[in-house]
Amino acid sequence: MDYLQIEGIKSLNGTIKISGAKNASLPLIAMTILAKNSVNIKNLPNVADIKTLLKLLSNLGAKCDFLEDRVVVDTATLTETKATYDIVKTMRASILVLGPILTRFGHCEVSLPGGCAIGQRPIDLHLKALEQMGAKIKIKAGYVQASAPNGLKGCNIIFDKITVTGTANIVMAAALATGKTTITNAAREPEVVQLCEILNASGVTIEGIGTAILTIYGTSQELINIKEFSIIPDRIEAGTYLCGGAITKSELTLENTKAEHLGAVIAKLEEMGSTFKITKNSITIYPSQVIKPVKIITQEYPGFPTDMQAQFLALATQADGTSIIEERLFENRFMHVSELQRMGAEISLNGNVATVSGKSQLSGADVMATDLRASSALVLAALVSEGTTNIHRIYHLDRGYDSLEQKLKGVGAKITRLKE
Ligand code: EPZ
């Protein structure tokens, strides 16, 4: 197993190129199941989760040619309709194939994703919506067994909660359904917006893109023609490196990024004292020498993203004063707290609220990555710690950060990947 060794107290300087968004790529790769042509996808991030989903599609019979940052996916040869436990257990987002396979083939089996480090993460809302569209669903032997022999039917769906992959799954299911589907309380994340835009450009009329009410006009099981497209930049990767600039008090420029997807993140960094220069495709952070404390509540887009909570918690350890961070999306997304405490951070946890007392002098330690974003918080903390930090179990980081150590090395960090 690999681990990362980071020497702290380094200031950084330079430019980082942001990769394509993992959480946009996953539904867009699943979307190729709806296509009659082979689909060319550009600007894919080189991360483990993408390879896992491509492996799942290959196991189902699709042809996937993955070359650096692009892939050509041909699902014409896809005949299997069962996503097995061995893959789904490694990546919950495998559930994204349920909607597309069911709507195309009239049946699908997907291993039920189990619990997760950050919370229970049920998929009841995905299943309830598919049932409303006419699917018969059984849970048997650890699998979701779904069938709709005569195809799915459009209907009105009101999500009890906003769900990102739930919205993506149902949008894809509705794309080949018969009639009109309306989703109320739909997710508005940029990744969902891109999925809707690509489907819309491929002949599936979708109204209300980017709003909480989506209307999808299905093609009655006719497969669609999807033209080449490029994945949007990863806003969470960009947000993480902006926190890297803020915590090390270093001027950094991010290229291939879209500031309009980072409104809440940039606003909080401004409250903490940083200023920014923003162009169409780049963001430069000018950090303040004194970091101000902050109050954060995680929310669905366009609110402050839960996927940036851990990184801001690390940053808050370096603020002068007390920050309050409330996690509203996932019940157990504070596993990084105990690792940060081991590095000297002063954090008290009360339910879903973390109170961070700054400024703490952190010191390097052996710490354990527990989930993807928790891992990046440890990297940020390590950059400003005295001495050496060894971050173990970095397979979590590799799931979602493309070339993290090369990118950080490129701006001057002392970071090395080693074998346990
Ligand atoms: C997506 O997960 C992202 N994953 C997550 O990113 C992100 O943290 C999350 O959205 C929230 O923004 C991908 O896009 C692949 P949800 P998802 O369904 O879709 C509850 C990362 O670090 N819920 O929007 O699984 C759920 O428990 C990851 O890149 C139900 O109750 O999240 C949670 O409390 C981690 N029933 C809330 O809704 C359901 O059927 C939002 O979850 C579905 C969800």
User: In 3-state terms, what secondary structure has residue 331?
Assistant: coil
pLDDT, tens digit, for every residue of 319-334? 999 999 999 999 889 9
Q: Which residues pair with 90 in a beta bridge?
A: none
Closest CA to 192 of 38, 113, 300, 293: 300
* Rounded average pLDDT over 171-180: 98
pLDDT, tens digit, for every residue of 4-16? 999 998 799 999 9
Please tell me the predicted confidence (pLDDT) of residue 115. 65
Asked whether 315 and 292 are in contact (CB, 8 A), the reply is no
Please tell me the predicted confidence (pLDDT) of residue 114. 67
Binding site membership of 328 for ligand 1 (Cβ less than 6 Å): no
Counting ligand 1 atoms within 8 A of each CB, the residue from 121, 231, 370 with the most, and so the one to mutate, is: 121
Please tell me the predicted confidence (pLDDT) of residue 332. 85
CA–CA gap between residue 401 and residue 373 (Å, rounded): 9
pLDDT, tens digit, for every residue of 30-63? 999 999 999 999 999 999 999 999 999 999 999 9
Concatenated DSSP letters of 337-358:
HHHHHHTT-EEEEETTEEEEEE
Binding site membership of 146 for ligand 1 (Cβ less than 6 Å): no
Q: Which residues pair with 213 in a beta bridge?
A: 184
CA–CA gap between residue 199 and residue 76 (Å, rounded): 18
Asked whether 387 and 8 are in contact (CB, 8 A), the reply is yes
Strand-pair category, 70-74 with 63-67? antiparallel
pLDDT, tens digit, for every residue of 89-144? 999 999 999 999 999 999 999 998 866 677 778 899 999 999 999 999 999 999 99
Is residue 216 over pLDDT 90?
A: yes
Q: Which residue's structure tokens are 């097995």? A: 84
Asked whether 114 and 85 are in contact (CB, 8 A), the reply is no
Please tell me the predicted confidence (pLDDT) of residue 119. 75
Of residues 331 and 387, the one with the higher pLDDT is 387
Asked whether 385 and 343 are in contact (CB, 8 A), the reply is yes
Determine which residue's CA is closest to atom 44 belonging to ligand 1.
163
Binding site membership of 304 for ligand 1 (Cβ less than 6 Å): no
As a whole number, the mean pLDDT across the chain is: 96
* Rounded average pLDDT over 69-88: 95
Determine which residue's CA is closest to atom 26 belonging to ligand 1.
121
**Edge-to-edge strand ranges of the sheet holding 366-368:** 366-368, 388-392, 2-7, 414-419
Concerning whether 116 is annotated as a catalytic residue, the answer is: yes
Please tell me the predicted confidence (pLDDT) of residue 117. 76
Please tell me the predicted confidence (pLDDT) of residue 120. 78
pLDDT, tens digit, for every residue of 327-357? 999 988 999 999 999 999 999 999 999 999 9
